Amino acid sequence: MKKGIKIYLWLLATNLFISAFTFGGGYIVVPMVRRFFVAKKQYFTEEDLINMAAIAQSTPGAIAINLSALAGYKVAGMTGAFISCFAAIIPPLIILTVVSAFYKIFVTNTVIAAILKGMEAGVAALMVDLIMDMCSLILKRKSLFLSAMIPLAFIANYIMGINVALILFFCCFLCILQVFYKKRKRK
Amino acid sequence: MSIVWKLFITFLKIGLLSIGGGYAIIPLIQEQVVEKNSWISGKMFTDIITISQMTPGPLAVNTSTFVGLQIGGIIGALAATIGCILSGVIISLALYRFFQTHQKSDYVLEVLNGLKSASLGLIISAAVTIILLALYGNNKPGLDFFSLNWTALLIFLALLFVLRKWKINPILIMFASGIAGLVIYR
C-alpha cells in the first residue's frame, strides 16, 4: 500500500479523468482502470482487476463507483478509496449542473447526438476487447465449471431476463455446492 | 425532515436495492422520485433518463445528481449522490477485505472464481446490448440483416483491430469514435 500526497493526487486526477469519459454504462470503467492502474502503473495485476470487477458487480450500487473505490483502496488504503469516490462523482456533478440549466438545447442538439452515436461504436469495441482478455484468463484455468458459468450467466441475464441479484446468488450457491462435493469425494 | 436528509435517505435506499446497476434500476428510481415523493413529473423523469444516458457517468449517479439538483440545489445533488453510492462502496470494500483475509478457504476462493465467471457473463450481456445499439440503432433482438449500419460496423471493427494490436488508451478510442460520429452522422 502506498501513502503520500503524490499518489493521492494521481488517484484524484486519474479518477476524475476516467469518470469524465464513462459513456455507455459503468462497465467501460473496467478497461479504463486496466489501462491506468494495471498496464501503465502496475499497481495491481489483471487477476486482481477481475477479482475487483466481480466484487464491484456483485454488490449494490454502480459498478463504476464501486470499482473506483476498490482500485483506490488497493493502491492507497481507505484514504485512496475515499479520494477515488470523491473524484468519480465530481465530473457528473459539474456536467449535470451545466446541462440541467440548458437541457432543452442539449437534448435537441444534432452535433452532440452525432458525437454520442459515434461513441457507441467506441464503447462496443472497448467492451469486446476487454471481454476477449477476460475470457482467455478464465479459460486458462481449464475448469469446465467456471468456463460454463460465463455462457450460462449470459443466457440467464440476456435471453431469459432473470434478475442479476438472483443469478449471482445462484452462482454462489453452485460454487459452495461444488466445493462441498469435491471435499466429500476426497474423504 | 429536511429535504436534503430525505434525498439522502431515499437515494440510500435506491443504491442499496440496485444490484447489477444500469437500466434495471430505472423503475425503482421512478417509483421513489415520481410516484412516492412527487419531486418531479413523469415527463421530466424521462428527460432525466435521456440526459443521464448522454452524459458521462453511471446512470444511477447521474439521475441522483439531477434529481437532487432540481429539488435541493448543489447540496441536494451531493446528498442524493452520496446516498446513492454509499452502500455499494462500503459493501464492496467489506467484501473485498473478506475475500482477502479468507483467501485460504476453498469455499471463499471458489465463490470468488464463480462470481468472476458469472459477472463476465453479465458484462457480455451488457456488451451485446451496446453492440446492437451501435450497429442497428436499437437493442431489440431479432434484427434483419439489411438494417445493419455498415459504417458503424466498419468503425467498430477498425477500433477493435487497433485496440487488439496496439493496446491504445481507451480515452483516445472514445475521442476517435466521437469524431468519427461527428463526421458520419451529422
B166 and B180, same domain (yes or no): yes
Cross-chain residue pair A97–B74, CB shorter than 8 Å = yes
Beta-strand ranges (E) seen in chain B are none
B7 and B95, same domain (yes or no): yes
Report the pLDDT value the prediction gives residue B145, as an integer from 0 to 100. 63
Instruction: Render pLDDT for B164-176 as a digit per residue (tens, 0 to 9).
Output: 998 888 888 888 9
Residue A121 CA to residue A119 CA, distance in Å, equals: 5
Distance of residue A187 Cα from the nearest chain B Cα, in angstroms? 15
Within a 13 Å sphere around the CA of A110, how many CA atoms are in the beta-carbon half? Answer: 4
Helices marked H in chain A: 5-20, 29-33, 46-58, 63-101, 103-108, 110-139, 144-154, 164-186
pTM of the model: 0.82
Distance of residue A178 Cα from the nearest chain B Cα, in angstroms? 9
B96 and B117, same domain (yes or no): no
B97 and B22, same domain (yes or no): yes
Report the pLDDT value the prediction gives residue A161, as an integer from 0 to 100. 86
B11 and B73, same domain (yes or no): yes
B14 and B82, same domain (yes or no): yes
CA distances from B178 to A95, A101, A115, B63, B161 (A): 18, 24, 4, 23, 17
Q: Residues of B with CB below 8 A from A69's CB?
A: 89, 92-93
The residue ranking higher by pLDDT, A101 or A48, is: A48
Report the pLDDT value the prediction gives residue A24, as an integer from 0 to 100. 65
Which amino acid is located at B85 in the chain?
A: I
Report the pLDDT value the prediction gives residue B7, as an integer from 0 to 100. 94
Instruction: Render pLDDT for B111-161 as a digit per residue (tens, 0 to 9).
Output: 988 988 998 898 898 888 888 888 887 666 555 666 788 888 999 999 999
Within a 13 Å sphere around the CA of A96, how many CA atoms are in the beta-carbon half? Answer: 35
B54 and B24, same domain (yes or no): yes
ipTM for the predicted complex comes to 0.83
Residues 74-133 on B with a CB inside 8 Å of A are 74, 77-78, 81-82, 84-85, 87-89, 91-93, 95-96, 99, 106-107, 110-131, 133
Average pLDDT of the residues of chain A: 89
B14 and B90, same domain (yes or no): yes
Report the pLDDT value the prediction gives residue B141, as an integer from 0 to 100. 56
Cross-chain residue pair B93–A81, CB shorter than 8 Å = yes
Q: How many structural domains are present in chain B?
A: 2
The contacts of residue A142 (CB under 8 Å, 6+ apart) are none
The residue ranking higher by pLDDT, A4 or B1, is: A4
Report the pLDDT value the prediction gives residue A49, as an integer from 0 to 100. 92
**pLDDT > 70 in chain A, percent:** 99
Report the pLDDT value the prediction gives residue B24, as an integer from 0 to 100. 61
**Range of A10-14, A116-120, B111-115, B132-136 with top mean pLDDT:** A10-14
Q: Name the grid cell of A101.
A: 440549466
Range(s) of the domain holding residue B73: 3-101
At residue A60 the predicted structure's pLDDT band, cuts being 50, 70 and 90, is confident
Answer yes or no: is pLDDT of B34 > 80: yes
Report the pLDDT value the prediction gives residue A25, as an integer from 0 to 100. 66
B97 and B120, same domain (yes or no): no
B15 and B96, same domain (yes or no): yes
Instruction: Render pLDDT for A131-167 as a digit per residue (tens, 0 to 9).
Output: 998 899 889 888 999 999 999 999 998 899 888 888 9
Interface test with A, best of B48, B52, B124, B161 (most A CBs within 10 A): B124
Q: Residues of A with CB below 8 A from B107's CB?
A: 175-176, 179
Q: Residues of A with CB below 8 A from B119's CB?
A: 53-54, 57-58, 153, 168
Q: Each residue of A19-56: b (16+ CB within 10 Å) or e?
A: bbbbbbbbbbbbbbbbbbbbeeeebbeeeebbbbbbbb
B17 and B96, same domain (yes or no): yes
Per domain, the residue ranges of chain A are: 5-140, 142-187
Report the pLDDT value the prediction gives residue B144, as an integer from 0 to 100. 64
B77 and B42, same domain (yes or no): yes
Average pLDDT of the residues of chain B: 85
Answer yes or no: is pLDDT of A113 > 80: yes
Nearest to B46, CA basis, from B60, B61, B30: B30
Instruction: Render pLDDT for B1-27 as a digit per residue (tens, 0 to 9).
Output: 688 999 999 999 888 877 765 566 777
Answer yes or no: is pLDDT of B90 > 90: yes
Q: Which of helix, strand or coil describes residue A4?
A: coil
Answer yes or no: is pLDDT of A45 > 60: yes
